[in-house]
Structure 1
Amino acid sequence: MSVAPLDQESLDAIRDGVRSVCQNYSAEYWRGIDEQQGFPDAFVTELTEAGWLAAMIPEAFGGSGLGLAEASVILEEVNRCGGNAGFVHGQMYNMATLLKHGSETQKAEILPRLASGELRLQSMAVTEPTAGTDTTQIKTTAIKRGDKYVINGQKVWISRVQHSDLMILLARTTPLAEVARKSEGMSIFLVDLHQAIDNGMSVQPISNMVGHETNELFFDELELPEESLIGEEGKGFRYILDGLNAERTLIAAECIGDGRWFIDKARHYAGERVVFGRPIGQNQGVQFPIAEAHIEVEAADLMRWQACQAFDAGQPAGASANMAKYLAAKASWEAANVCLQTHGGFGFATEYDVERKFRETRLYQVAPISTNLILSYVAEHLLDLPRSF
């Protein structure tokens, strides 16, 4: 697939707009959020009020009607400015599921309120402790009783529940033993978190190395109205893939933003740090790794645009989204290592922010899908090799 040219002027305008918000939140601000394992509520609120989180919402519902390409630039720029888009990216890809498969009533009721900032849709509950990335093996059930679905089960690594009003939930509505294919019989629901928490759903925060607000969820006879079902019952796995392809592409953009932050940080330090009477960036042993990291980030960026193009054109985007995420996560992690090495001991000092961003970008080698699972996907679906698991 060739990559269609994008309107560079429009993308530059988006970058400038996002940067104008980000410049109000210094490195000290993000350092403080990290130290407290807090949530950047002021930043999220301002980004929302500026309309950036409504980028993919159609204009008819109060949004900008932009595509995944433009949304990816928004999140890339947050990370490139030294922030952490992981606190806001959920609304972008969760909306993809609602936009494609929600009813007209659901969209009319929810999308305008998301666009205005009245509501936040930052959480998606798919992963379970025993299933991991083998989503077809989830054990959380949704049993229809009268005009309600009753939810029982457990989820883990579910982010931003404390700062979200709504959550996308994947649960099994037909037992695994009763379906022809294991990907069938799952459905997705829109959960009102204010009604659910302490009323059949409990939340246990998980402390972690990147301060990422994430949790374990427990469901015990949680009742959901039947109108909370998104799309048709039993087709939830297929529906959720649309959101996951958007998620992987957006994460790729964030990693590209991280990679460019690391490279800029490294090259400036290498140009200013003088040892043995010359800037360390004059040494090939320092400058070559920085140059190599730059090349890798730029290459990953091309795959990001290919994934965006496929998604926005309504074409199958699984392969390009997975490969974009793989390449970008790998490139940002390599750039992080180069940046830390360039700074030497100062790279470990919190005041330089390298160690914070180092930890943040490391996450994307593991989540939202591990690099090994992407390699398995490519081997099976693109290279026609035997399934490895």
Structure 2
Amino acid sequence: MSPANDQFVELTENQRLVQKSIRNICDDFDREYWREQSQKGEYPHEFVDTLGEQGWLGILLPEEYGGAGMSTNETVVMMEEIAAGGGGFAAAQAVHGGIYNSVALVNHGSEDLKEELVPELASGETSLQAFCLTEPNAGSDSTAIETRAEKDGDEYVINGQKIWTSRLDVSDYAIVVARTTPKEEVDKKTKGISMFLVDVDEAVSAGTLDYDQIHKSASEFVHSYSVYFEDMRVPEEHLLGDEGDGFYQVLDGLNEERLVIAAECLGLGRLAVDRGVQYANEREVFGRQIGKNQAIQHPLAEAFAKVQAAKQMTYNAAAQGAEATDLGALANMSKYLASEAAFEAADAAVQTHGGFGVATEYDVERYFREARLTRLVPITQQLVLNYISEQVLGLPRSY
């Protein structure tokens, strides 16, 4: 890893501690490990278990529940280092869900649920990796969800379908978002949506939850699913927060999470540039290193500069946190710039490798596929531009 990556952002003492600790963990999981996980499509259990054993899955959880009690300021470092350590964006996504879904439980779950589950989530003993929101007819427009949860005594009965639910196969629990009041009966489409905590094994055993894997060409070891609920019963104490306020609860902490997504893109960009530079220094054509050619140098240098620029905005926003004048704008712009920088870095790395750029043994083709994915998830670049246009520039709403 190039030392140049650490030159331009001044880290706090806590951030340096996180950086050192995560790098030490990542050093035990080399490029071959991540290549094998990708090729076999197997979830990186060993890596995630190591993070859990050392307490990093609870980085955002309160100390009173066994967490580390840290903030977004430290989490951006953690997730950037995971991505940069060899595993790329997919490695960060393998743990991202568990970190942020656990925060939703802390913020909106009952005290009994928190006391029972949060310490186990912090240690990795129990997993809450899956978040069931997106539906066939409700992608970016989350208010269009059709999955219903109807009260029946002291339980809710859930029926419907979700798609693109990731990590359900490695989750003990899942958060399910459903309508408790039909859209036609609320005065605002963002109302009448609720969040529920679901015991996955219990629902599968009861035959009320089923799922099929969606095969994809990026992040192969982080599996995604179509999920089906048929009369799935959830006890009322597993309602998270207030009934009908689930949409606002989903938005709670969204800006901070978007900054962490940006950091994961930065890590991928760093990784791609490093691999490109390494190959450019080693590969010789016409009796000279290809890295001597400006046609190789300049794309890598430009990509590096853009990654560092996006990092400045991301880390500055994370440091400001809730005190930022407009954290929403900063978070969205950070995600946009980091995704674009990661894509350009991966593209430059592939081009540097020439024909070997599409050979799986060199890894950069995987980085390219992941970088393309970052421009789609968890929010498309176009929706980010919509936000900036309307909320920052004052242009009229386009949809």
- Output the TM-score relative to the length of structure 2: 0.92
CA gap 1:243/1:141 in 2 versus in 1, 3 angstroms: farther
Is 1:142 matched with 2:149?
yes
C-alpha distance in structure 2 between counterparts of 1:160 and 1:337, whole Å: 28
- CA RMSD, Structure 1 to Structure 2 (Å): 1.7
C-alpha distance in structure 1 between counterparts of 2:323 and 2:177, whole Å: 26
State the aligned residue count: 385
Within-5 A mapping of 1:93-104 = 93-104=100-111
Letter of the 2:126 partner, please give it.
L
User: What's the counterpart of residue 196 of structure 2?
Assistant: 189
Is 1:119 matched with 2:129?
no
> Which stretch shows the higher mean deviation, 100-109 or 166-175?
100-109
User: What's the counterpart of residue 321 of structure 1?
Assistant: 331
Unaligned runs of 5+ in 2: 1-8
User: What's the counterpart of residue 15 of structure 1?
Assistant: 19
User: What's the counterpart of residue 296 of structure 2?
Assistant: 286
Within-5 A mapping of 1:228-247 = 228-247=238-257
Deviations 1:114-146 (A, max 9, x none): 112221111111100111111011000111111
- The counterpart of 1:307, out of the listed 294, 317, 323, is 317
C-alpha distance in structure 2 between counterparts of 1:171 and 1:310, whole Å: 33
CA gap 1:316/1:234 in 2 versus in 1, 3 angstroms: farther
Within-5 A mapping of 1:150-229 = 150-199=157-206, 200-210=208-218, 211=220, 212-229=222-239
CA gap 1:307/1:329 in 2 versus in 1, 3 angstroms: same
Letter of the 1:205 partner, please give it.
Q
User: What's the counterpart of residue 373 of structure 1?
Assistant: 383
Letter of the 1:139 partner, please give it.
E
C-alpha distance in structure 1 between counterparts of 2:321 and 2:77, whole Å: 15
CA contact (8 A) 1:294 1:335 kept: yes
CA contact (8 A) 2:173 2:200 kept: yes
Identity score, percent: 47
CA gap 1:86/1:142 in 2 versus in 1, 3 angstroms: same
C-alpha distance in structure 1 between counterparts of 2:388 and 2:368, whole Å: 27
Letter of the 1:187 partner, please give it.
S
Is 1:65 matched with 2:69?
yes
User: What's the counterpart of residue 91 of structure 1?
Assistant: 98
> Which stretch shows the higher mean deviation, 320-329 or 146-155?
320-329
C-alpha distance in structure 2 between counterparts of 1:42 and 1:52, whole Å: 14
C-alpha distance in structure 2 between counterparts of 1:342 and 1:6, whole Å: 30
Unaligned runs of 5+ in 1: none
- Output the TM-score relative to the length of structure 1: 0.95
CA contact (8 A) 1:67 1:312 kept: no
> Which stretch shows the higher mean deviation, 164-173 or 355-364?
355-364
Q: Secondary structure of 2:311's match? A: helix
CA contact (8 A) 2:102 2:121 kept: no
User: What's the counterpart of residue 298 of structure 1?
Assistant: 308
User: What's the counterpart of residue 268 of structure 2?
Assistant: 258
CA gap 1:317/1:172 in 2 versus in 1, 3 angstroms: farther
Instruction: Give the superposition deviation at 1:13.
Output: 2.1
C-alpha distance in structure 2 between counterparts of 1:314 and 1:116, whole Å: 31
Instruction: Give the superposition deviation at 1:314.
Output: 8.7
CA gap 1:311/1:198 in 2 versus in 1, 3 angstroms: farther
C-alpha distance in structure 2 between counterparts of 1:348 and 1:385, whole Å: 42
